[in-house]
Amino acid sequence: MKISIWNIYHRLSYPNRIPLVKDGNPTIKGVRWIVTKDLNPDMVYIGNEAEFFAGIEGNTIIVHRNDMILVQNAEPQEVFNEVSSIMEMYQRWDEALEECGAKPNGLTEMLAASSEIFQNPAFIYAPDGKALAIAPGYPGSIHWHWAEILEHHGLTEERIEYLQKTIDLTNVFLDRKPTIRDSYMGDHQYLHCSLVVNGYMAGHFVIFSMLHPFESGVEHLASNLIVHMLRYMLRHYEIYSPTSRISTFISALIHERPYEKKEFLLFQKLLGWNDGEDVYQFYILKEMVKGEPVLLSRTYLKLSSALKSSVVFQENNLLLLLLNLNHASLKGEELDRLLDSLGRSFYCGVSSPFRKIEQVSCYYKQALAEVIRCKEQHLRRSQGIDHIGDHLLTLLKQNPLNGAYIVPELRALAEYDRKEQTHYYETLRAWFYSGFHPTSAAFMLGIHRNSFNYRMERLRQLIPFEKIDWIAANRDVKKINEYFYSFLYLDSVDSLK
């Protein structure tokens, strides 16, 4: 990593040192002895002051570009060794941060590894205020606000509302690089930086100067830590993105578990969703393997990065995707191409589009049924809206009681037709389906209007017709639907017997 001359200055143990710093640029990555020419701008140089200033002995200078530290009454060799140790310390810190990136609780480990560097309490909190990581080892006794953070494991809703009123938290959240601000929680400052991962506000990093005032150059050190944190959060997108955190609420809705509605609404707001207007669609992917899935994690990462503002998460051996059609980053043919690229390895069940996210449980079940249909019929993708008839047939066949609610005259008419090879049942069906218009009904049957009239006269002799005439005259929708139900059952279930 690279540091600034300020980072060296604050670590020097010599009491008599004078900083002559003009720029303080964080570009130092090595230490060398001073030479009279060809100075490398990425190096800090150390030598006897007498080599540059005539008539002065016994002092040492540390030089980097336009910046200098004068160390009085110090041997150059001793200063060189100490600066080398300081450089090694920062390098060890950077390497430790790299190692933390491979650990399950990497953010907390990074804050712990940074304790010696910042010497102040730090924490990372999500947009909802809950802590993602808290620096260990700092007791609540150092400050009442730190005690509150430890007790509630983050910022309470009341504290966030207070901060919004007192320090304009919305404006603070615009910090995209480490920024030092005065605190309204006491006589100290805090350093803040919003953490944006894959286009989302993933969290906020804060260091409090509760134990020590901030040193010059601390922003650059914080920037180095943030680079590692962002890399870790991007690698663990399934944990730190708003879409993955909202997946916990979607999972609760699917399985009808309790959830915090206010937090759910907050994440919807972060994603820019408007539940009153938006349209959703549920996708379920299941890998075409008998045992443990092999490509699930890789596919999850591919979909997560491609489908921003959509919720992608894993449950057991399934990959679940809730697409907000109003805010989808991929739509139509682009989304089809993405899913087709996965089609050789996954079954894909797709729900019908729907409104109101509270209904997601029903459409999850529909998508799951379509996955089963894929497996049974050797399909790669199946969409619920294409199989309405099949679903209705399944519902009608599931309960034997459904057949008991058929209009009796219709079943008698259908049995008469089968026995006598006539067409009175389908004539009456056309009469209902045409909205009781003789010409339209005759057209549906493919017969002449006179032939239709003859059949209707004959129908009046076969079954009681007063009720049907009343329905036709009054357009009673409830009664009409009873006949539609009977026609549907007789056409689908009874026809298969």
- Of 93-97, 176-180, 332-336, least confident by mean pLDDT is 332-336
Distance, CA of 416 to CA of 409 (rounded, Å): 10
Q: What is the pLDDT of residue 45?
A: 81
Decide if pLDDT at 342 tops 80.
no
Q: What is the pLDDT of residue 349?
A: 93
Average pLDDT of the chain, as a whole number: 88
Q: What is the pLDDT of residue 126?
A: 85
Q: Give, for 382, the enclosing helix (H) or strand (E).
A: strand 381-383
- Average pLDDT (43-61) is 73
Cβ-based neighbour number of residue 62 at 10 Å:
27
Q: What is the pLDDT of residue 395?
A: 83
Q: What is the pLDDT of residue 56?
A: 61
| Residues β-bridged to residue 191 | 180, 207
Cα–Cα distances (Å) from 218 to 97, 117, 132, 171, 425, in that order, read 17, 9, 22, 22, 86
pTM equals 0.59
C-alpha dihedral, 371 to 372 to 378 to 382, nearest 10°: -40
The label of the residue with tokens 């207007």 reads: 277
- Of 36-40, 72-76, 363-367, least confident by mean pLDDT is 36-40
- Taking the alpha carbons at both ends of the chain, their separation in whole angstroms is 78
Decide if pLDDT at 450 tops 90.
yes
Distance, CA of 12 to CA of 62 (rounded, Å): 11
Query: In the structure, what pLDDT confidence band is assigned to residue 65 with cuts at 50, 70 and 90?
Result: confident
Cβ atoms 272, 309 nearer than 8 A: yes
- Of 33-42, 193-202, 325-334, 461-470, least confident by mean pLDDT is 33-42
Query: In the structure, what pLDDT confidence band is assigned to residue 495 with cuts at 50, 70 and 90?
Result: low
Q: What is the pLDDT of residue 303?
A: 83
Distance, CA of 301 to CA of 241 (rounded, Å): 12
Q: What is the DSSP string of 268-337?
A: HHHTT--TTT-EEEEEEEEES-SSS-SSHHHHHHHHHHHSTTSEEEEETTEEEEEEETTT-SS-THHHHH
